[in-house]
Structure 1
Amino acid sequence: MLRCSDLRFRCLVGGAFGQATVEAALLIPVLCIAALLVLQPSFILFGRLAMQASAADGCRVLETLEPGHEAWAKDFIAYRLSGVPDVPAFHAGPWDIAVEGDETSSVVHVSIAHRVKLLPLLGFAAGAAGFADADGCCEVSVEDSLTKDEWLAEVESGLAPSVWVSRWEEKV
C-alpha cells in the first residue's frame, strides 16, 4: 500500500533537488547586494553619531578651557573619535577637527569632518550621481556650538570659570 509520504519522498528524490540549486544561485547574490545596501548607511550613521557626540563633548570642554589650550580640546575630541574603527568603510584618512573659542568666549564652536570610502555598489551609484569623488569617497561632517547666556557676560565675575572658583574660595 502506498502512502502520501512515500510519494512525496519519491518526488523529492526524483529530481526536485535541482530546483533548490537554481534558486540558491539567484538568491545568494541578491541577499549579498541587499546586505551591502543596508551596511553602508549604518556605517555612515555610526560614524556620524560618534562625531556628533564628540563635537558636543568638545564644546563642553572648550567652555571651561583657558585661552591658548585649544590643542587640548582637539586631542580630547580625537581621543573620543578613536572609537570609530580605522577601516575605510567607516573612516578613511585623518580627522579634520576645528575648534573656536575658550572660557572667555560667549560662543564655542567645533566642526569635525572626515571621508568615508563607499562600498562597491553604493560607491558606483554615488559616483555616478556626483556625491563621491574619484577615489569613491564621500565627506561626512558635523558641527556643534554652544552659546553662553547673555546675563553671564554681564556678571562681575565674567565668563571665566577660574574667576568663579576664586570668588567661591573668597567666600569660604
Structure 2
Amino acid sequence: MRRLSGQDRTRWRATSSRSFRTFFFTELAESTSGQATIEAAVLLPTLMLVIALLVQPVCIIYTRAAMRSAAAEAARAIATDYDGDLSDCRSYVLRRLEAVPDVPLFHSGGASDWSISLSRGGRDVNVEVVGHVRPLPLLGVALAAFSESDGKGIVLRESLREEVRPSWIRGTYGDWQRLWA
C-alpha cells in the first residue's frame, strides 16, 4: 500500500466528504449549502399533515366507540327501568357521553348537540345516539363525500336494537319483581 502525502490526503477527504452527502445525511464540511434547511422546510409540513390525517380517524373511531358503549349501557338500563319514564336513562346516556371531549375533532356542539332516542316495546329496546364532528378540512371533504353531513358537520349515528328479554322468559318485569319481593 502506498502512503498518501499531505496534499493527497486533503484531496481524498474533500472527495470522500462530498460522496457521503445524501438526502438524509449531510456531513459537516468547510462550506454549508443549506440543504438541511430545505429538507426541513419540505419534510416538516408533510410530516405534520400525515400525522393530522392519521389522528383524525382515531378521534372519530373513539367517538363512535363511546357512543356505542353509551347505547349498550342505555339498553341495559332501559331493560330494568320499572317506572316507564326513560328520562333518567337519557340523562344516564348523556353522562356516559361526557367521556367524549367537546373538541371539533371528537364532537362539536356540546351536550345540547347529542340527540338520543330511547324506546322500549315488549322484549326489544331501541337506542339511537346522534352527534356531529367537524373534521380537519382536508379529511372533511373526503368524509362529506362518503358520509351523511349537515350544517353542523359530519353526522355520527349509532343505533342499537337489543332483545333484552328472551322469549323463553314468561311474564312481565313487574311479575318478576313481585316474585322476588
Shorter-chain TM band: 0.7 to 0.9
Alignment of 1:127-138 (within 5 A): 127=144, 129=145, 131=147, 133=149, 135=151, 137-138=153-154
Give % identity: 31
Q: Distance in 1 between matches of 2:123 and 2:102?
A: 35
**2:123 alignment partner AA:** S
Classify 1:77/1:5 alpha carbon distance in 2 versus 1 (closer, same or farther; 3 Å). Answer: farther
Larger radius of gyration: 2
Match of 1:55 among 59, 66, 71: 71
1:112 maps onto 2:143 in alignment: no
Q: Secondary structure at the match of 2:31?
A: helix
Classify 1:163/1:133 alpha carbon distance in 2 versus 1 (closer, same or farther; 3 Å). Answer: closer
Please state how far the C-alpha of 1:43 moved relative to its aligned partner: 0.7
Return the structure number with greater helix share.
Answer: 1
Report the equivalent of 1:159: 172
Aligned residue-pair number: 160
Task: Calculate the TM-score normalised by the size of structure 2.
Answer: 0.77
Task: Calculate the TM-score normalised by the size of structure 1.
Answer: 0.81
Alignment of 1:85-124 (within 5 A): 85-93=101-109, 94-101=113-120, 105-124=122-141
Is the 8 Å Cα contact of residues 149 and 155 (structure 2) preserved in structure 1?
no
Q: Any idea what the Cα deviations from partners look like across 1:71-103, whole Å, max 9, x if unmatched? A: 01100011000000011111112101000017x
**1:13 alignment partner AA:** A
Q: Secondary structure at the match of 2:34?
A: helix
Q: Any idea what the Cα deviations from partners look like across 1:116-157, whole Å, max 9, x if unmatched? A: 001121113334x364646572101111122121121xx2xx
Report the equivalent of 2:42: 26
Please state how far the C-alpha of 1:65 moved relative to its aligned partner: 0.3
Classify 1:146/1:125 alpha carbon distance in 2 versus 1 (closer, same or farther; 3 Å). Answer: closer
Alignment of 1:75-94 (within 5 A): 75-93=91-109, 94=113
